[in-house]
Structure 1
Amino acid sequence: MRFPRRWVLLFATAATLLATQATVAAEPAPSYSYLSGVLAQLRGPDLPPPGANDWSCRPSAEHPNPVVLLHGLSNQTLTWQTLSPVLKQAGYCVFTTTYGTGALGPLGALTPVPESARQIGDFIDRVRAATGVAKVDLVGHSMGGAVPFYYLNYLGGVPEIGNYVALGAPLHGSTLSGAEAPFSALLSALGVRDQVVAQCGPCDMAPDSPFLRVLNADPAIAPDIRFTTIVSRYDEIATPYTTGQLAGPNVRNIVLQDLCATDFTEHYELTADPVTVREVLNALDPANARPPFCTLVLPFVGPPAG
């Protein structure tokens, strides 16, 4: 028995649609919880998160800039289990790396800021070469939101960046919820403060550090870059939380609790927080921005049903 050609085409189309739906259904939904990064790190230390580092990816006309995700005192696995697959599903080419590793094994952002910035710059050059683009967009958490200012100021990075999104970044130093001063005093008492600071990027981010003038977190140096900062009033690492904000006509500052009073995200959950994720998407594609959905978000674990 022979089926009419239009039936064959119809069956083939239906089978293709069903297969596509099955593939989509089989893809796990991103977990809006920092704990998903912890579990991923235990399963495969320092592996790129889902959706990242497809070096054959070519940016679309809708999203012409690849997105480079930069962790803080952490690594690519711990930090980007949520945002990386969300961006990939939204049609972006996504790239991650672990930079600045030191004595703490898989944790990065430890080396002096100039060295971390050089590694970031080299990675951005690799992404640009692979994708054939002139610019990338940056999304950085904590030190990953601060270190690129050195790249902009001293390593020729300004023309290579379109959007710069900083999440809970110690742009003006951090008191570490009051722990920085006694820690610094202890190092001074032991006579090793200068040596430690010289070898440790985060250790050079005290609010009174002369290095902050060198870092020069001033968006005026790059008026064509769109800067977005996202901070939480419950941040326990980048403190006060206002250290993560900038000033200038090319800046948008977002305080999560101004958008959602029941969002109790702290420093680490920030990269998996659903309100943050929505605002990152809005920052990268403002023409298609949507308001975030406000729900209860708990520290570290995210939404209770997440």
Structure 2
Amino acid sequence: MTTTGPVRADDPGPSYSYLAGLQAELTAPGQPPPGADDWSCRPSVAHPNPVVLLHGLSNDTITWQTLSPILARTGYCVFTTTYGTGALGPIGAIARVEDSAAQIAGFVDRVMAATGASKVDVVSHSIGGAVAFYYLSRVGGVSRIGHFVALAAPLHGSTISGLAALQPLVASTGSGAAAVRQCGPCQLSPGSPFLQVLDPDPGIAPDIAFTLIVTRYDEISTPYTTGLLDGPNVHDIVLQDQCPTDFTEHNELPSDPVAVHEVLNALDPAHATPSTCTVVLPVLGPPPIQTH
């Protein structure tokens, strides 16, 4: 695996925009985001758990261009991988959730062995949250996770703004039926038997702190409340309740400055600070600051 090593001192810093991830994929496809996958990194006393970032229907290059370098600068050991690839080439998370979770289990074990850590913190986006929960509940992840942070995770299934209703039509064809059986996102359609298997109950892991971050403008994980959980060990965050001028949608969420701040708070709650509200545009992020 190619690694990026630590963030350079002269690095210009992350861009709070989904477009930065797309540009990185075009210019350096398949490369880990800045700050990730330094296998010589050893966790500090302040941040003893390495952070494992799990993308959604995308890859680690596109999804984590903002959060990865911020975490590295803050002092975390950060690790990413593109999992669950298949027919869509560099795009991951298309494999069955069970297969992706097994892949993540091996990756987490590798991170723990390399760093000497007894637990990892997991930050996920979109279907990555379902993969992370399946790993936690079905593949032995409970004893390996300290903090569980999920951005726009379709934990209770997703209508994908109505597109999921087309799945029975696709499955009615011979080739379509085979594709649906092997499709991770298809497992999260409303009424899918897999949702009963997933059964995202945080009560099964009372010692794990769950933080769920969603946006009301999500067009993929719909309704947006699918990304919320209930329980004494759960902190649900609807971005617009904190910042009404944050119009971020599904893909921009991992690059959203308010969401990123809340991820940092979730990973280090003893030093949490209030988020600063700002204008955030869908896909584009915060408007550029005009200087004169």
TM-score, normalization: structure 2? 0.94
> In the alignment, what sits opposite 1:26?
10
- Distance in 2 between the 1:235 and 1:160 partners? 30
> In the alignment, what sits opposite 2:4?
none
- Distance in 2 between the 1:223 and 1:197 partners? 34
Q: Residue 215 of structure 1 aligns to which amino acid in structure 2?
A: L
Residue 173 of structure 1 and its aligned partner are, at CA, apart by: 0.3
Q: How do residues 108-187 of structure 1 correspond to structure 2 at under 5 angstroms?
A: 108-181=92-165, 183-187=166-170
Paired residue for 1:203, among 182, 186, 202? 186
Mapped pair 1:243 → 2:221: no
Residue 193 of structure 1 and its aligned partner are, at CA, apart by: 5.2
Q: Residue 277 of structure 2 aligns to which amino acid in structure 1?
A: C
Mapped pair 1:55 → 2:39: yes
Paired residue for 1:266, among 225, 228, 249? 249
Q: Residue 75 of structure 2 aligns to which amino acid in structure 1?
A: G
Q: Is the 8 A contact 2:171 2:180 kept in 1?
A: no
Q: Is the 8 A contact 1:135 1:162 kept in 2?
A: yes
> In the alignment, what sits opposite 1:87?
71
Q: Residue 12 of structure 2 aligns to which amino acid in structure 1?
A: P
- Distance in 2 between the 1:104 and 1:188 partners? 19
Residue 26 of structure 1 and its aligned partner are, at CA, apart by: 2.1
- Distance in 2 between the 1:38 and 1:24 partners? 21
Q: How many residues align?
A: 283
- Distance in 1 between the 2:9 and 2:107 partners? 33
Judged with a 3 Å threshold, the aligned counterparts in structure 2 of structure 1 residues 179 and 24 are, in CA distance, closer, same or farther, namely closer
- Distance in 2 between the 1:296 and 1:154 partners? 40
Mapped pair 1:221 → 2:204: yes
191-200 vs 292-301, which deviates more?
191-200
TM-score, normalization: structure 1? 0.90
- Distance in 2 between the 1:138 and 1:87 partners? 12
> In the alignment, what sits opposite 1:282?
265
- Distance in 2 between the 1:186 and 1:296 partners? 40
Mapped pair 1:297 → 2:274: no
The ranges of structure 1 where at least 4 consecutive aligned residues each deviate by more than 6 angstroms after the TM superposition are none
Q: Is the 8 A contact 2:57 2:92 kept in 1?
A: yes
**Gaps spanning 5+ residues in structure 1: where?**
1-22
Q: Is the 8 A contact 1:196 1:203 kept in 2?
A: no
Q: Which of 1 and 2 has greater Rg?
A: 1
